[in-house]
Amino acid sequence: MIIIDTALEKLADENKPIRVGLVGSGFMGRAVGRQIIRHSPGIRLVGVANRHLEKIDQLYKEAGVGEYKIVNSAKDLEDAISAGVYTGMEDAMLLCRSGQIDLIFEITGNVEFGAKVAMEAIKNGKHILTINTELGGTLGPILKHYAHKAGVIYSDSDGDQPGVTMNLYRFVKQIGLRPVVCGNIKGLQDYYRNPTTQLEFAKKWGQSPEMVTSFADGTKISFEQCIIANATGMKVAKRGMHGFTLKPGTHFEESAKMFLSDELLKGPGIVDYLAGASPSPGVFVFATTDDPIEKKFLDLYKLGEGPLYPFYTPYHLCHFEARTSIARVALFNDPVLAPKSGPVVEVVALAKKDMKAGESLDRLGGYTMYGVCENAPTARAEDLLPIGLAEGCVLKKDIARDQVIKISDVEFPGNRLSDELWQEQNKIFNSPR
The answer to whether residues 383 and 407 touch, using CB atoms and an 8 Å cutoff, is: yes
Residue 85: predicted pLDDT: 98
pLDDT(71) > 70: yes
Digit-coded pLDDT (tens) for 183-197: 999 988 999 999 999
Could you tell me if 9 and 77 lie in one domain?
yes
Tally Cβ neighbours within 10 Å of residue 367: 16
Could you tell me if 67 and 88 lie in one domain?
yes
| CB-neighbour burial class of residue 75 (10 A; exposed 0-12, middle 13-18, buried 19+) | exposed
CATH of the domain at 66: 3.40.50.720
Could you tell me if 140 and 229 lie in one domain?
no
Residue 410: predicted pLDDT: 98
Most distant CA atoms of the chain, gap in Å:
65
pLDDT(302) > 90: yes
Q: Is the pTM of this model over 0.95?
A: yes
Could you tell me if 114 and 249 lie in one domain?
no
Could you tell me if 300 and 172 lie in one domain?
yes
Could you tell me if 11 and 155 lie in one domain?
yes
Question: Which residue segment(s) compose the domain that 138 sits in?
Answer: 2-159+319-332
Confidence of residue 198 (pLDDT cuts 50, 70, 90): very high
* Long-range CB contacts (within 8 A, 24+) of 195-203: 195/365, 195/366, 195/367
Confidence of residue 25 (pLDDT cuts 50, 70, 90): very high
> 111-123 vs 133-150: helix axis angle to the nearest 10?
20
% of the chain residues with pLDDT over 90? 97
Beta strand pairing call for 283-288 and 178-186: antiparallel
The answer to whether residues 162 and 227 touch, using CB atoms and an 8 Å cutoff, is: yes
Domain count, the chain: 3
pLDDT(34) > 90: yes
pLDDT(418) > 90: yes
CA distances (Å), 198 to each of 207, 211, 364, 366, in order? 10, 9, 14, 10
pLDDT(137) > 60: yes
Q: Is residue 129 part of a domain?
A: yes
The answer to whether residues 284 and 258 touch, using CB atoms and an 8 Å cutoff, is: no
Could you tell me if 251 and 351 lie in one domain?
no
Give the residues across from 394 on adjacent strands: 360, 411
pLDDT(135) > 80: yes
Residue 432: predicted pLDDT: 54
Confidence of residue 431 (pLDDT cuts 50, 70, 90): low
Mean pLDDT, all residues of the chain: 97
Q: Is residue 338 part of a domain?
A: no
Could you tell me if 16 and 80 lie in one domain?
yes
Could you tell me if 257 and 358 lie in one domain?
no
Cα(116)–Cα(426) distance, integer angstroms: 19
* Those residues with Cβ within 8 angstroms of residue 392's Cβ, 6 or more apart along the chain or in another chain: 360, 361, 412, 413
> What is the mean pLDDT of the segment spanning 166-177?
98
Residue 430: predicted pLDDT: 78
> What is the mean pLDDT of the segment spanning 392-420?
98
